[in-house]
Chain A
């Protein structure tokens, strides 16, 4: 995704919208494109299915992983490593994967001053199919709660509307409408639409207007059986 190259980007959103899956995919794509990439797991509220789980794969691909001290262990202890401060000084592409909602994003608040004068993106990930009430107003409300605790303003929306392996073109189109509605409620642009790799080709060639950049992803988070 062009706009995140060689700067800091912060991936936030309602929990379970696919932040970690997206962050890991983006880190790998940018590393493959030859960029120096650092991924920061800032999720200290959820002990399952998180960036730290993919540490080895990422490091093998030359990506630096900064994770909570007890990430991916049995200690349910929210503690941050000193290295997290250094992440703000890194060269290249730095991706912060926040925890879900305002609760999971709170930790970013203490680092706000580190971003003063820096060019960064804060990208709000949404998934229409994570919301039983399918209400863009509620989705916009979650963002304002996240902005309150991070003391940062989001710069764009990433539409990750999907039903995992059951996603169809209808879901993609309905998800897109939902993203546009959320965009108009928040005043933010839809900077990108995330699609499962096998569904992405068609939309890369012929995107629906307003989709932004198409990001193909593999589903890596969660069990494989």
Chain B
């Protein structure tokens, strides 16, 4: 690993993309992801890459589709309202079976909302980023180091499954600074893309990258095939961190920024003798059902903590499936819950019979 330096999460995302071999970045400005684009604009020209500020989010995401269709590693980044605008293009990318990395540094919503951190785009990222039957792989970092690590993994997953991958971050992780290091490796290995529409010199049949199907039966067949791939991903790619869950009677489920606050509350509650643990989903899709299922035998209660009115809590309930009560605590609109608030919730649950 390289020497550690202090970086903002947004900068770490940008540097990691460059180190993963991404040389094409298409964006449109928005707070609080600004430093990512700024970093790209400064660094890309120096290394023979391209930073392009498009005329709109729609243009930027369609440039990503074009670059990916031509077989290149391409990325875009935005924040909540900008992701809504990009969602049409993301659907086209999914429908075209090409990889791409999309960063969402979430802010408060709906509408123009706020520029403060939020996790209210969980449903959007995992269930409805655009129209049609499709999924994105969604990774949720919780430290600046993970912001760096997950970008390369996102590009690799995208290549492996030929699909778009989203990093669902938030304003706090994007703006905060922590020590971070990057892997010491030479040129990144970018897999061959035999499907790319990148010129064939008459030596092979031409490739078509497209999401339009003239015959309904062909579209159905394609979508069904894609869902078989999703089944494999659900089996193979779930990731979560389990913290002090072995004997936990209360299991908190939280991801990203709110998992940091939750962990702090878990430590305080443990110090008071309360048996509480944390499951931190790292992949939001596929949702880490196995990690949560593993806690069901010992857990008496679940508490989902989010910076939203409660979105991931639905997926937790689907796994727990009525066997144990699942409650929710959240702050929204750009407010980060405090460790004290979560500790209070833990104490309330601890005092109550199941």
Contacts and interface: CB of A to CB of B under 8 A. Distances in A.
A16 B5 CA distance: 11
Interface in B177-208: 177-179
B288 interface: no
Contacts of A134: 3
Interface in B240-274: 260-261, 263-264
A121 to B, nearest CB: 25
A131 interface: yes
B90 interface: no
Interface string B1-19: 0111111100000010000
Interface in A89-131: 127, 129-131
B172 A132 contact: no
Nearest to B334: A74
A166 B179 contact: yes
B70 interface: no
Contacts of A16: 6-8, 177
Contacts of B5: 129-132, 163
B264 A225 contact: yes
A129 B115 CA distance: 28
B276 to A, nearest CB: 16
Contacts of A3: none
A76 B6 contact: no
A213 B108 CA distance: 43
B333 to A, nearest CB: 9
A223 B177 contact: no
Given A76-B31, A223-B260, A225-B261, A163 B6 contact: yes
Contacts of B7: 16, 130, 132
A81 to B, nearest CB: 20
A48 B114 contact: no
A129 B2 CA distance: 12
Contact of B176 (A76, A129, A163, A223): A223
Contact of A47 (B2, B4, B31): B31
B179 A163 contact: yes
A107 B6 CA distance: 26
Contacts of B261: 225
A34 interface: no
A209 interface: no
Interface in B5-43: 5-8, 15, 31-32
Interface string A1-31: 0000000000000001000000000000000
A83 interface: no
Contacts of B172: 223
A131 B4 CA distance: 10
A88 interface: no
Contacts of A223: 172, 176, 260, 336
A74 B107 CA distance: 10
Contacts of B260: 223, 225
Contacts of B339: 225
Contacts of A222: 176-177
B71 interface: no
B151 to A, nearest CB: 15
Interface string B155-183: 00000000000000001100111110000
B263 A76 contact: no
A164 interface: yes
A203 interface: no
B116 interface: yes
B32 A129 contact: no
Contact of B32 (A48, A127, A132, A166): A48
A177 to B, nearest CB: 14
Given A129-B4, A163-B4, A74 B114 contact: yes
Nearest to A133: B5
Interface in A199-225: 222-223, 225
A222 B3 CA distance: 22
Nearest to B182: A132
Contacts of B179: 129, 163-164, 166
Contacts of B264: 225
A142 to B, nearest CB: 11
Interface of A: 16, 47-49, 74, 76, 127, 129-132, 134, 162-164, 166, 222-223, 225
Pairs of residues from A and B, 8 with the lowest C-beta to C-beta distance, nearest first: A48-B175, A225-B264, A74-B114, A163-B179, A225-B260, A166-B179, A129-B5, A129-B6
11 contacts: A16-B6, A16-B7, A47-B32, A47-B115, A48-B32, A74-B114, A129-B6, A132-B2, A163-B179, A164-B179, A225-B264
Given A49-B175, A223-B176, 7 more contacts: A47-B31, A76-B31, A130-B7, A163-B6, A164-B178, A223-B172, A225-B264
